[in-house]
Structure 1
Amino acid sequence: MAFAGRWETETQEGYDAFCKVLGIPDDIIEKGRDYKLITEVTQEGNDFSWTQIYPTNAKVTNKFTIGKECDMETIGGKKFKATVNMEGGKLTTSFPNYHHVCEISGGKLVETSQAGSVVLKRTSKKL
């Protein structure tokens, strides 16, 4: 239940390089650089609902059960199938263009996304 709650982005490392490797246009990268993304997580056992809310009020919600394939969607509307696993207290999954790991460290939500050698690390505080 460590992931459950409402989180707000504090820091991002590698944002520009990560967005560029995913092919996101420069104007969108510029707009999103200082976003205070809100992440809302509910958890009941192995069942999760994970919602990301952007300052433009755009949001995307993915629901998943640990170890079971599910339908997911990116903020850009791309739909795909993925399986979220729990490994050593970390949630791991592969999106179409990158691998994503979420963990709680020092009371913070730490999300690490890796596309090839490019890494985005986002740290969020609990609200």
Structure 2
Amino acid sequence: MSFTGKYEVESQENYEAFMQIIGIPADTIQKGKDFKFTTEVVQNGDDFIWSQIYPGHTMTNRFIVGKESEMETMSGKKFKATVQWDGGKIVVDFGKYKHSSEIAGGKLVEISEAGGATFKRISKRIA
């Protein structure tokens, strides 16, 4: 299934605990926990443009599955990573945490894991 679309956050689980583990400052966590940001994905085969649009800031990662690409983490750190397919999911190791994304029931389901905490975000398709 194609990831292409625009998605709005519908629900999040374990946001605060996960963000603390990966080193996000408490004030940033408080500001970010209630943002209803959007994710916009353009997929052309294994080529992706993945943007998260926050109030006043957009973070965009461009990558080709199976090829090393420069990526940016939630905390703004840049590094090189290789996104892989795992069944219908795309997975990437961001160093401090592992992240997977899939389309399930027409929704974008993202799971990040670090230090025993699992952060789950579900976003509904809006376009």
TM-score, normalised to structure 2, is 0.95
Contact 2:24–2:75 (CA under 8 A) maintained in structure 1: no
C-alpha distance in 1 between matches for 2:77 and 2:95: 9
C-alpha distance in 2 between matches for 1:111 and 1:49: 16
Given residue 75 of structure 2, which amino acid in structure 1 is its aligned partner? G
Q: Deviations over 1:27-64 (max 9, x none)?
A: 11111111112100001111000000112x21111111
Structure 1 residue 87 displacement after superposition:
1.1
Aligned positions, number: 126
Q: Percent identity?
A: 55
| Structure 1 moving runs of 4+ over 4 Å | none
Q: Which residue of structure 2 aligns with residue 51 of structure 1?
A: 51
Q: Which residue of structure 2 aligns with residue 74 of structure 1?
A: 73
Q: Which residue of structure 2 aligns with residue 108 of structure 1?
A: 107
TM-score, normalised to structure 1, is 0.95
Stretches of structure 1 that go unaligned for 5 or more consecutive residues are none
Contact 2:13–2:121 (CA under 8 A) maintained in structure 1: yes
Contact 1:59–1:75 (CA under 8 A) maintained in structure 2: no
Stretches of structure 2 that go unaligned for 5 or more consecutive residues are none
Mapping for residues 20-99 of structure 1, pairs under 5 Å: 20-55=20-55, 57-99=56-98
